[in-house]
Amino acid sequence: MVAIGLLALLYGWIAGLEADRIYANLHLNSFYFVSLGLTGLFFVAVHAIAESGWQVSMQRVGEAMSMFIPVGGIIMLIVFLAGGMHHLFEWTHEDHLDHILIKKVAYLNQPFFYIRFFVFFTGWVLLAWLIRKTSRQLDMNGDIQYFNRLRKYSAFYVVFLAISSVVSSWDWLMSIDAHWFSTLYGWYVFSSMLVTGFSVLVIFVFVLQRMGYMKHVNEEHIHDMGKYMFGLSIFWAYLWFSQYMLIWYANIPEETIYFYERLKYFDTVFYFNLIVNFAIPFLLMMPRNAKRVYWVVIPVAVLIFIGHWVDLYQLIMPSAVGHEAAGIGFLEIGLTIGFIGLFMLVTFWGLSKAPLVPKNHPFYEESLHYHTNY
Amino acid sequence: MNKDYITAYYYDEDELLKGIRQMKEKGLEVLDVLTPFPVHGLDIVLGMRRSRLTRVAFWGGFVGTAVGFFFQAWVFTKAYPLNFGGKPFFAVPSFIPVTFELAVLFAAFSMVFAFLIYFKLGPGAKTVIHDERITDDRFLVVVNLKDEEAQEQIEKALLEAGAEGIKRNA
Amino acid sequence: MYVSPIREPLIRGEKNYSQVTKDILAPMAGKPSIYWYLGITLAGIAALFGAWATYQTVYYGIGTWGLNKTVGWGWGITNFVWWVGIGHAGTFISAILLLFRQKWRTSINRSAEAMTLIAIACAGFFPLIHMGRLLLGFFIFPYPNTRNLWVNFNSPLLWDVFAISTYFAVSLIFWYVGLIPDLGTVRDKAKTKIRKAIYGFLSFGWTGSSKHWSRHETVSLILAGLAAPLVLSVHTIVSFDFATSVIPGWHTTIFPPYFVSGAVFSGFAMVLTLLIVARKALNLEEYITVNHIESMNKVIILTGSIVGIAYITEFFMAWYSGVEYEQYAFMNRAFGPYAWAYWIMMTCNVVTPQLFWFKKIRTSLVATFIISIFVNIGMWFERFVIVVTSLHRDFLPSSWVMYSPSLVEVGLYVGTIGLFFTLFLLFIRVFPVIAIAEVKSVLKSSGDHKKTAHHE
């Protein structure tokens, strides 16, 4: 499967269309999957801080997902250095900056951009490594000091991620439309990645169970993941609405142009985004039993994965590529499949590096005997 | 209750659950169980079905959404369309907040009223309080007394099932 | 259900069920302490000040306030948002912590929810009083009338009407439904006929039947599921009052989640202020333990940090946007004539909650109490800064003006504080402050005589 993924990666490259489009797609996918890695780790971290017990049986998957972060980072860097900067970001054309872009030069300049890039990735990779290491140490000798250390690193990670995800989304996504701005943007993107990351985690758990592992994960755990998918989809839709409605209401042209372009030329994508990412999870995942059974949870998780890819598409493409050149064709699908393959490769490799079941974790017993009443 | 019954009480919820299982095995008919707080696992042991109140809440919410949205749409497109800041008459983003609030309001109230009406609870309701210590620390099981002769047998069975005490009510 | 042995117990003192009942009902029995009388007297005096101010406003009009053409919203709306924000903690504790299965909420949710209801009542007072023609206040509700007029559904101020009304109504029934079984307890333990009759009436005939309990749990769960998005929506809609405008400093997309976090932040601070005193005065330290205080402090770090990030984002985006009006708005906040308010806000909201990263401070009752007061002050100033600094100097310099509150406005605010504490002190005497049945349901798994695992 992974081999097919890698082939698709090459194929997608050869399909050779507008350079803008190729770079934009590479950028989109690398950002998407790095975010999934970050969110997988966030799953581990946030539950460690909250001292919750039920997720312990699944947290190895989150840790493994985080191994993709450096891989995606390298791809992003190559894309930027190999010409992506000029194709994606209009503010890199230093010789013809208009009067608005000139004001932003103190922030939107290439050296500072790269410095921030390295700060983010260093922080992420370092904290991911620390958390994974401590988690494994905890498993090896169950000493409570490792548990406390895990909580400490998790707290650092959550704080660092809060700031870095917001600033990185400004750098890598919002500045594609450098004339536009929105204070909610960072949180909006983060919420999108959060729900997708948790959905992908569930898909991995499902695949592992099909392969015969993780027998201790029962429908109670799936129920909770289903609740996350339901609730976080609603949260994402709430942020989407906040951003959209406020810009619609005040009707200030320098803000509305963003949505005007999308509604005029990308309307199918725009509405698809809303229906797949909100209406479907909201309606399908509302009944209690729907959240407990794989045959509802997994298709919805897959839809969420596709839907938020489309969300990212409508964030990037209209500005990076423009409505004449953009489209969803072999390039997009092929490249995405390639990245999926790569992500799966890295995650499974990560899973093989540590025992799937953290037996010595102080909350492991709780996770085993887990039974919710609602 | 207009039946004859015997009540047995416990001081611990785990003993209660064990006891009820034993009672059911012995063929005793458990009419009701009264507890100071909801005991988990009790609904399964007693064979209760899933509550339909969730459906009431859902349909209440649905009605609230429809009422909210279509009412606003009617007011702004048919009844008295006015130009507010250049916004279109059918201003969907503007309608969402009120629609949402009404959905929640209708869902919550319909469910709570259904709950109270179904169980006939309300100010001045006339209910039977079997034992004043139920709301304190006593767990009560109410067993059907089918005929007078069986009383001794039933009382013995109850004590074997771990009851701390028995009361006879007619 | 299995509980890991490394978890701290939630109820100390090796209690059994009847002790729980006794302890929680104790504050309602007998004569109140001298401190209670002192408290309610002080609160009553404050409320009287408010009554005078209300009379001034209704009889003489809004001219008795310090508002002017440029600054059309001042203390009135600041106080409104402040109170609504405080109310959010109760629903957060009851609903959102229930959905996240945080058992530690059981000792604090009843009083927090009561606080919510009182806070919303205090909040709702402000929109009512600022209307001028109070007797026509019902105009804000859509009803068929001879002028064929309807309310303006396009206006966030109207969305507020629906939001606050729904929030009050749903919080009320959520609080009350939870209270019914506990009122049954009070009824059954009542020593006089009158008390028995009153609480019998209030407890709706509750019997403790398992069928009732099962459905009660379902209702509580669904109400929690409804109340959680509701509480988010209410402060979101309040933020829309500002964000839908075009005013620099107001029109910014981050307002909805930023306001919600700020609300939970200030609400938890108020809960802490109240409960640190109440737990000592009512001898409930074994139920509202240091653990509970610490957990609440963690929520404060979380929400306070989110608010801090929002401040930084707004500031950065003002620069990044290149819009001079937006940039000026922030410069004016930090260095203009109201800079003192701005820096109080920043110190109280950004700096003080970060102290809770240190365990010593998190678990210190004195420090927590002091910090909670600072947070409440800081959050008041945040609303003041947002409202007044953005209004007093917006696009047209010739309209720039200063604003200061009149004695009447101060009186109204002090009055609501008096009302709040009066009602809360009454609540303590009339209703059980802790959710008796809920605490009992976690006693076995989380009480301190069950340090070893327990299987069903």
Q: Could you count the other beta carbons within 10 Å of the beta carbon of residue C267?
A: 32
CB B23, CB B46: distance < 8 Å: no
What average pLDDT does the segment A347-367 reach? Answer: 79
- For A195-217, give one letter per residue: b (16+ CB within 10 A) or e: bbbbbbbbbbbbbbbeeeebebb
pLDDT score recorded for residue A213:
85
Mark yes or no for CB contact C163/B101 under 8 Å. yes
Identify which of C150, C154, C218 has the shortest CB distance to residue B94. Answer: C154
- Euclidean distance between the first and the last CA atom of chain A, given in angstroms as a whole number: 38
Return phi, psi of residue A7, to 5°.
Answer: -60, -45
Contacts of B149 (CB under 8 A, 6+ apart): none
Neighbouring residues of C206: CB distance < 8 A, sequence distance ≥ 6: B121, B127, B135, C180, C181, C183, C184, C187, C212
Rg (CA), chain C: 23
B94 touches chain A (CB under 8 A): yes
- pLDDT tens digits, A104-113: 999 999 999 9
Inform me whether the C-beta atom of residue B83 falls under 8 Å from chain A C-beta atoms: no
Burial class for C31, CB neighbours closer than 10 Å (0-12, 13-18, 19+): exposed
What local confidence, expressed as pLDDT, does residue B1 receive? 45
C227 CB neighbours in chain B (<8 A) are: 108
Closest CA of chain C from B116, distance in Å: 9
pLDDT exceeds cutoff 80 at C135: yes
> What pLDDT, on the 0 to 100 scale, is given for residue A14?
65
Separation between Cα atoms, residue A308 and residue C123, nearest integer Å: 39
By mean pLDDT, which of A27-41, B120-134, C73-87 is the weakest?
B120-134
What SS3 class is residue A7? helix
**Residue C447: beta bridge partners?**
C11
Among B40, B58, B86, the residue with its CB nearest the CB of A251 is: B86
Q: Which amino acid is at A38?
A: L
Torsion sign (Cα): A282, A287, A290, A291: positive
Q: Which pLDDT tens digits describe chain B residue by residue (170 residues)? A: 456 788 888 888 888 998 888 888 888 888 889 999 999 889 888 888 888 999 999 999 999 999 999 999 999 999 999 998 889 999 999 999 999 999 999 999 999 999 999 999 999 888 888 888 889 988 999 888 777 667 777 888 888 777 777 877 65
**Interchain contact, A163 vs C309, CB within 8 Å:** yes
pLDDT band at A98 (very low <50, low <70, confident <90, very high): confident
Length of chain A: 374
Tokens representing residue C82 in the block? 């402040």
Q: Do C219 and B80 touch (CB under 8 A)?
A: no
Chain C residues with beta carbon closer than 8 angstroms to that of B137: 16-18, 21, 440
> Per residue in C398-418, pLDDT tens?
999 999 999 999 999 999 999
For B47: left if phi > 0, alpha if psi spans -120 to 50, otherwise beta; the answer is left
Closest CA to B148 of B6, B20, B32: B6
- Pick from B37, B40, B42, B95 the residue to mutate for testing the A interface (most A CBs within 10 Å): B40
pLDDT in tens, A246-271: 999 999 999 999 999 999 989 999 99
CB–CB contact C226 B104 (8 Å): yes
Mean pLDDT value of segment A82-91: 86
Contact B38, C217 (CB under 8 A): yes
Instruction: Specify the pLDDT at position A20.
Output: 78
Q: What is the pLDDT of residue B170?
A: 52
Query: What pLDDT is stored for residue A322 in this prediction?
Result: 79
Quote the tokens at residue C185.
Answer: 């307890």
- Given a cut of 80, is residue A220 above it in pLDDT? yes
User: Is the CB of residue C194 less than 8 Å away from at least one CB of chain A?
Assistant: no
Q: What span, in angstroms and rounded, lies between the C-alpha atoms of C58 and C77?
A: 17
What's the gap between Cα C456 and its chain centre? 38
CB B36 within 8 A of CB C216: no
Using one digit for the tens of pLDDT, what is the confidence trace for C236-258?
999 999 999 999 999 999 999 99
Q: Which residues in chain C are closer than 8 Å to A362, comparing Cβ atoms?
A: 4, 6
Nearest to B108 among C1, C226, C441 (CB): C226
Nearest Cα neighbor of C220 from C276, C170, C292, C284 is: C170
pLDDT grade for C285, boundaries at 50, 70 and 90: very high
pTM (predicted TM-score):
0.93
Residue C64 has pLDDT above 90, yes or no: yes
The closest of C13, C10, C9, C35 to C23, measured between CA atoms, is C13
In chain A, the residue whose alpha carbon lies closest to the alpha carbon of B40 is A373
Instruction: Look at residue C453 in the predicted model and tell me its pLDDT.
Output: 37
- Report the C-alpha gap between B54 and B11 in whole angstroms: 32
By the 10 Å C-beta count (0-12 exposed, 13-18 middle, 19+ buried), A164 is classed as: buried
Contacts of A291 in chain B (CB under 8 A): none
Burial of C396 (0-12, 13-18, 19+ CB in 10 A): exposed
Cα separation, C20 vs C16, whole angstroms: 6
At B148, phi and psi to the nearest 5? -55, -40
CB C11 within 8 A of CB C286: yes
What's the rounded Cα separation, in Å, for the pair B136 and B118?
A: 25
Neighbour order of strands in the sheet with B139-144: B30-34, B139-144, B5-10, B165-169
Q: Which of B13, B98, B129 sits opposite C159 (nearest CB)?
A: B98
Partner residue opposite C313 with nearest CB, options A166, A238, A372:
A166
Contact list, B72 vs chain C (CB under 8 Å): 153
Q: Which chains touch B (3 or more CB pairs under 8 A)?
A: A, C
User: Residue C455: what pLDDT?
Assistant: 36
Using H for helix, E for strand and C for coil, what is the string for C101-129? CCHHHHHCHHHHHHHHHHHHHHHHHHHHH
Interface size A-C, in CB pairs within 8 Å, comes to 92
For residue A361, the SS3 value is coil
| CA C61/CA A90 separation, integer angstroms | 56
Mean pLDDT of chain A: 88
CB A208 within 8 A of CB A187: no
* Amino acid, res. A25: N
The neighbour count for residue A74, using CB atoms within 10 Å, is 12
Q: What is the mean pLDDT of chain C?
A: 92
Q: Is there a contact between C320 and A365 if contact means CB atoms under 8 Å apart?
A: no
C221–A371 C-beta distance less than 8 A: no
Residues C160-208: pLDDT tens digits?
999 999 999 999 999 999 999 999 999 999 999 999 999 999 999 999 9
Q: For C294-339, how does the pLDDT look when each residue is reduced to its tens digit (9 = 90+)?
A: 999 999 999 999 999 999 999 999 999 999 999 999 999 999 999 9
Contact (CB, 8 A) for B9 and B139:
yes
- Tens digit of pLDDT for each residue in A125-169? 999 999 999 988 888 887 888 889 999 999 999 999 999 999 999
Residue C186: closest CA among C374, C433, C451: C433
Instruction: Tell me if C219 and B132 make a contact (CB, 8 A cut-off).
Output: no
Among B86, B87, B96, beta carbon nearest to A241: B96
Please report residues of B whose CB lies closer than 8 A to that of A251.
Answer: 85-86
Bridge partners of residue B143, in order along the sequence: B6, B30
Q: HSE of A77 in the Cβ direction (CA atoms, 13 Å)?
A: 13
Give backbone dihedrals phi and psi of B169, rounded to 5 degrees, phi first: -125, 145
Work out the minimum CA distance from C16 to partner chain B, whole angstroms: 8
Q: Are C175 and C117 in contact (CB under 8 A)?
A: yes
CB atoms within 10 A of CB C128: 12
Strands B165-169 and B139-144: unpaired
Closest-CA distance, B93 to chain A, in angstroms, reads 6
Helix spans in chain A (H): 2-14, 19-49, 59-65, 68-79, 85-88, 99-103, 110-141, 144-172, 185-210, 219-250, 253-265, 267-274, 280-284, 294-320, 330-352, 364-368
The highest-confidence range among A282-296, A340-354, B138-152, by mean pLDDT, is A282-296
Nearest Cα to Cα of residue C445 among B37, B46, A49: B37
Question: pLDDT-based confidence at C454, cuts 50/70/90?
Answer: very low
β-sheet bridge partners, residue B5: B144, B169
Contact between chains at B93 and A286 (C-beta distance less than 8 A): no
CA distance C132 to C59: 9
Gyration radius of chain B's alpha carbons: 25
Give SS3 for B9.
strand
> Is C174 close to B85, i.e. CB distance below 8 A?
no
Other CB atoms within 10 A of residue A251 CB: 12
C245 to chain A, any CB pair closer than 8 A? The answer is yes
Question: Is B169 in CB contact (< 8 Å) with chain C?
Answer: no
